[in-house]
C-alpha cells in the first residue's frame, strides 16, 4: 500500500518534471505542498526538474528543515507566508518564466484573452520589486500582494501560483505563462484586443470547477515525461 506522503512526494516529482519539460522552470524555482500539522513538503535548493524523491525535504511552518538531506530554498519565506494567510492554498509554485518577467515589467496584469487565462480573471497583482524574497518580512509583502488571488507577478523576477491541488498547480502554472505569451503576441499586432467579459469568465470558471477537469490535461503532460 502506498502511503499518502509517499504518493504526494511522487506527484511533486512528476509536477517538477512536467514544468521542466514545458520550459517554464530551469535551474531555479521551487514547488511546495501543504502537509498536516503545519508542515510543508518542499523541493530543495537544486534544479527542481532534477529532484528525486530522496531529495525532498519537510519544513515546519516557519521554513525550518525537519527532515531530508537537501537544504531549503533561499526564498522559502514566500511559501511559508502565503500558507499562513491562505488556508485554502494547498500547494505553491514559484518560477521565473520570461513571459511573466516581460509582462510584469510593463505593469500589466494578465488580461483574459484566451480561455487559458480564466483562472486569473480576478487579477494577477504585481509585487513591485525584483529583490529576492529571502526573509519573512518580504514573504509577508508578497503574500499581502497576492491577497485572495490565484497568482502574483513579481517585477523583474517571475511569478508565484497557489492552487488547491498539484494537478491544478500544473494547469495554472502553464496557463499563466501561456496567457502572458498570448498577451505579448496580441500587443505586437497593434490592434484592439477583445478580452473575456466577467460573465464569460464566470461561466468558464464553473466548467473548470468540475472534479475531473484537469485529468485530460495531466494525462497528456504525464505521457510526455514518462517513458
Would you state the CATH architecture of domain 4-218?
3-Layer(aba) Sandwich (3.40)
Average per-residue pLDDT for the chain: 95
- Nearest-angstrom CA–CA distance, 123 and 151: 8
At 2 the pLDDT is 54
**Closest to 140 measured CA to CA, from 197, 83, 89:** 83
Place of cell 514545458: 22
pLDDT digits (tens, 9 = 90+) for 94-119: 999 999 999 999 999 999 999 999 99
pTM: 0.95
Instruction: Give residue-wise pLDDT tens across range 17-69.
Output: 999 999 999 999 999 999 999 999 999 999 999 999 999 999 999 999 999 98
As a whole number, mean pLDDT of residues 170-193 equals 96
- Band (pLDDT 50/70/90 cuts) for residue 211 is low
Q: Closest by alpha carbon to 109, among 79, 145, 137?
A: 145
Amino acid at each position: 500500500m502506498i502511503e499518502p506522503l509517499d504518493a504526494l512526494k511522487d506527484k511533486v516529482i512528476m509536477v517538477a518534471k512536467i514544468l521542466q519539460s514545458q520550459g517554464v522552470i530551469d535551474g531555479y524555482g521551487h514547488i511546495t505542498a501543504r502537509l498536516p500539522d503545519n508542515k510543508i513538503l518542499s523541493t530543495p535548493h537544486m534544479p527542481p526538474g532534477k529532484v528525486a524523491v530522496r531529495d525532498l525535504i519537510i519544513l515546519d511552518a516557519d521554513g525550518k528543515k525537519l527532515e531530508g538531506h537537501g537544504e531549503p530554498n533561499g526564498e522559502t519565506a514566500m511559501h511559508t507566508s502565503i500558507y499562513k494567510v491562505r488556508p485554502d492554498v494547498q500547494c505553491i509554485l514559484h518560477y521565473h518564466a520570461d513571459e511573466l518577467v516581460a509582462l510584469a515589467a510593463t505593469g500589466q496584469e494578465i488580461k483574459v484573452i484566451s480561455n487559458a487565462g480564466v483562472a486569473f480573471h480576478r487579477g494577477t497583482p504585481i509585487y513591485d520589486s525584483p529583490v529576492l524574497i529571502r526573509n519573512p518580512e518580504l514573504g509577508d509583502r508578497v503574500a499581502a500582494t497576492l491577497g485572495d488571488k490565484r497568482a502574483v507577478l513579481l517585477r523583474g523576477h517571475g511569478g508565484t501560483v497557489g492552487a488547491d491541488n498539484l494537478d491544478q498547480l500544473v494547469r495554472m502554472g502553464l496557463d499563466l505563462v501561456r496567457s502572458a505569451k498570448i498577451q505579448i503576441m496580441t500587443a505586437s499586432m497593434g490592434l484592439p484586443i477583445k478580452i473575456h467579459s466577467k460573465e464569460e469568465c464566470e461561466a468558464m470558471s464553473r466548467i473548470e470547477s468540475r472534479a475531473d477537469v484537469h485529468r485530460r490535461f495531466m494525462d497528456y503532460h504525464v505521457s510526455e515525461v514518462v517513458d
